[in-house]
Chain A
Amino acid sequence: MIYAQILAGGKGTRMGNVPMPKQFLSLADKPILIHTIEKFVLESRFDAILVVCPADWLSHTQDLIKKYISDERVHVVTGGSERNETLMNGIHYIHENYGEHDDDVVVTHDAVRPFITQRIINDNIEAVLKNPAVDTVVPAIDTIVQGTENKIDDIPVRSTMYQGQTPQSFNIKTLVSSYESLSDAQKETLSDSCKIVLLAGQPVKMVRGENYNFKITTPYDLRVATALVETRS
């Protein structure tokens, strides 16, 4: 089975003094999260689409989905305290409600990347059916500098540098076994889901994202996103 998991667990701590988590803020008259879900429901190959949100915002998320989305495949699940726990909560929901199958895959996506395209979703599905894990990337435009304490340690060759986006897609069995092999310290510090399978020695396939598939994290991002969207006259 092919699942989608939209990660809406963020609390919006980088969005300044905004009281509401960023995925619920409005872009072109709709919550950002709804724009993202709308893209996923257009893909008929998904057997279920999970929206994983903070516990405090569960009913709010359910209300929004009831208002804007009419697709029985969409389910709201409570997330965890950090990204990978949120991800694994969604996997537990899948196991409890749909069972476990060796060829199950999940396409995970940040709720705050509403500019996701059909092509990127399709490329993820195609790639994850053939590979244990998939990351969506764009080539780095700026030079990436690695450093500590205000000093450069290294300047890697730019042509081998990419910026990670989402979706990140996984064979669920591989993801679970990789996650279980991590130490508690690793689980707490890992900010990227693909690194879970990478640390377990599994290959991660890259698919091409788009520069405009950016994450709306700061007030500046939201202003840019708002400026990018035109309303059809």
Chain B
Amino acid sequence: MLNQVYRLVAARQFEVQTVAETVTDNDIVVRPRFLSVCHADQRYFTGSRPQSVLRKKLPMALIHEGVGEVVNDPKGEFKPGTLVTLIPNTPFGTDPIIKENYLPTSKFRSSGYDGFMQEYVVMHRDRVIALPDGFDMQMAAFIEMISVGVHGLTQLEAAMDADSNTIGIWGDGNLGYITATLVKQFFPDSKLIVFGRHQSKLDYFSFADKTYLVDDIPADLQISQAVECTGGRGSEMAIAQIVEHIRPMGTAILMGVSEDPVGIDTRNVLAKGITLRGTSRSGRADFERALKILSASPVTRERLQNLVGLTRKVSTIQDIIDFFEGDLTNYWGKAVMEWDV
């Protein structure tokens, strides 16, 4: 099958490449329908990754968050027209201990492996999950990011001590919002506090028990467990505040990606016996749990639908460029494009 793949070849420059695809019985052919842009995609689009990384990874199709429609299943397990969520992590091995998203042999869409900006995506059979009825398609486009939040909180469940009194989230962006929404499902009896830099963004977290601007945190405030969802330069300050406000023996899940190394006050990490646990990406089990939570909780779906920000149909390469540029100036929410290229 000849497939048109829309690859980023240099900063702000996409080109179409025809790729001859082989479809085996282990594959399913999916037509992407709605695609959601992640910060990682924007770092490639704007060329803000180091040149050595760009040289190695480009040309590459961007986007690892999306929902699509099955057009061909050689085994007939999925009917044409079935809407599916797409799992970008693609394992090429298994390990009894290491989860699929941490296996060095796994390939990840839009990170050195073509993402979903393609006419059709040939997915391994176990990399798609049928979407339950009644899901908003634009919200469904970023189920991958929801699964990343699920993964982070699943890791928190596994690593934390018995104190779930107060959960603190650092970060008022998309990941912070998604993770905070999920905390209400994972830890329904816990007090949720969200820490952010923008009051106008914190105002969206109406379901949180309390929000604080990061320069106005009461000195005596204590939290049981923490999740860092800032990334970038904000990570350092967020981790410093977590170390300051977390109770001894607490666990902090680190989810924000920073391009450069950040300083950590290890003296207090040691003194308080804090567990810092990094998490990255997600696997099929996290997608399944995310779908279970979303199916069972209309209020969670509604909160996450409110995160849909910029939306537009894209039909040409110029539309795609305009969409990515538009997302850069988009103040709040996820940018979701209807894929009609």
Contact = CB atoms under 8 A, between A and B. Distances in A.
Contacts of A35: 1-2
B119 to A, nearest CB: 5
B126 to A, nearest CB: 19
A29 interface: yes
Contacts of B81: 44
Given A229-B20, A232-B122, 7 more contacts: A38-B2, A39-B1, A39-B2, A42-B72, A119-B119, A122-B340, A212-B4
Interface in B8-36: 16-22, 29, 31
Given A28-B2, A35-B2, A42-B72, A117 B19 contact: no
A210 B15 CA distance: 13
Interface string A201-214: 00000001010100
Interface in B52-87: 71-72, 80-81
A114 interface: yes
A119 B315 contact: yes
A137 to B, nearest CB: 15
B4 A42 contact: no
Nearest to A71: B72
B80 A230 contact: no
A212 B20 contact: no
23 contacts: A28-B2, A35-B2, A39-B2, A42-B31, A42-B120, A43-B71, A44-B80, A44-B81, A114-B2, A115-B2, A117-B4, A117-B341, A118-B71, A118-B119, A118-B120, A210-B16, A212-B18, A229-B20, A230-B17, A230-B20, A231-B20, A232-B20, A232-B21
B306 to A, nearest CB: 30
A155 interface: no
Interface in B175-191: none
Interface residues of B, number: 22
B169 to A, nearest CB: 40
Interface SS of chain A: helix, strand, loop or mixed?
Answer: mixed
Closest 5 A/B residue pairs (Cβ): A28-B20, A44-B80, A42-B71, A38-B1, A229-B18
A229 B4 CA distance: 9
Contacts of B17: 230
A35 B119 CA distance: 14
Nearest to A32: B2
Nearest to B80: A44
Contacts of A115: 2, 4, 18
Contacts of B122: 232
B72 A231 contact: no
B19 A230 contact: yes
A152 interface: no
Nearest to B74: A70
A31 to B, nearest CB: 12
User: Which among A30, A41, A212, A230 has the highest number of chain B CB atoms within 10 Å?
Assistant: A230
B80 A119 contact: no
